[in-house]
Amino acid sequence: MKTRDKYIYKHLNNKIKMTSIGLMSGTSMDGVDVSCIVTDGNNYFHQIFFASYKYTSKIKKLINQFFINKNNYIEVCNQITLFHIKSIKMAAKLNNYPLSKVDIIGFHGQTLLHKPEECWTWQIGNGKMLSNSLNIPVISNFRYRDICLGGEGAPLASLWHKTLLNSLSNKSYPCIFINIGGVSNMTYINEFKDVKYCFDIGPGNGPIDLLVKKYFNLDMDYGGKKALSGKIYLDIISKILKFKWFNKLPPKSLDKNELNSYIMSCVEGISPVDKLATLSRLVSVTLKKHTDLLNINPKYIYISGGGAHNKAIMNGIREEFNNNTKFMNLNDWDIDAIEAQAFAYLAVRSYKGLPLTENNVTGIKIDVSGGLLNFPNVK
My answer on whether 228 and 306 are in the same domain is yes
My answer on whether 101 and 150 are in the same domain is yes
pTM, full prediction: 0.93
Is residue 258 a part of any domain in this protein?
Answer: yes
Surface-to-core class of residue 306, CB atoms within 10 Å of its CB (0-12 exposed, 13-18 middle, 19+ buried)? buried
pLDDT of residue 259: 86
Is residue 40 a part of any domain in this protein?
Answer: yes
My answer on whether 225 and 314 are in the same domain is yes
My answer on whether 189 and 258 are in the same domain is yes
DSSP string for 162-173? HHHHHH-TT--S
My answer on whether 12 and 128 are in the same domain is yes
List of the chain residues with pLDDT < 70: 1-15, 27-28, 323, 329-332, 379
Is residue 100 a part of any domain in this protein?
Answer: yes
My answer on whether 263 and 345 are in the same domain is no
pLDDT of residue 158: 95
Count of structural domains, the chain: 2
CATH value at residue 283:
3.30.420.40
Is residue 36 a part of any domain in this protein?
Answer: yes
pLDDT tens, position by position, 160-205: 999 998 888 777 889 999 999 989 999 999 999 999 999 999 999 9
Is residue 162 a part of any domain in this protein?
Answer: no
pLDDT of residue 2: 47
Phi, psi angle pair for 59, to nearest 5°: -70, -40
pLDDT tens, position by position, 286-308: 999 999 999 998 989 999 989 99
**Element of type H or E holding 315:** helix 311-320
Contacts of residue 221, Cβ cutoff 8 Å, sequence gap at least 6: 208, 209, 212, 227, 276, 280, 310, 312
Please state, in angstroms and as integers, the Cα–Cα distance from residue 233 to each residue in 117, 183, 267, 287, following that order: 32, 21, 9, 17
Phi, psi angle pair for 247, to nearest 5°: -95, 5
Parent domain of 80: 3-155+340-374
My answer on whether 323 and 344 are in the same domain is no
My answer on whether 322 and 345 are in the same domain is no
My answer on whether 207 and 257 are in the same domain is yes
Is residue 28 a part of any domain in this protein?
Answer: yes
pLDDT of residue 345: 98
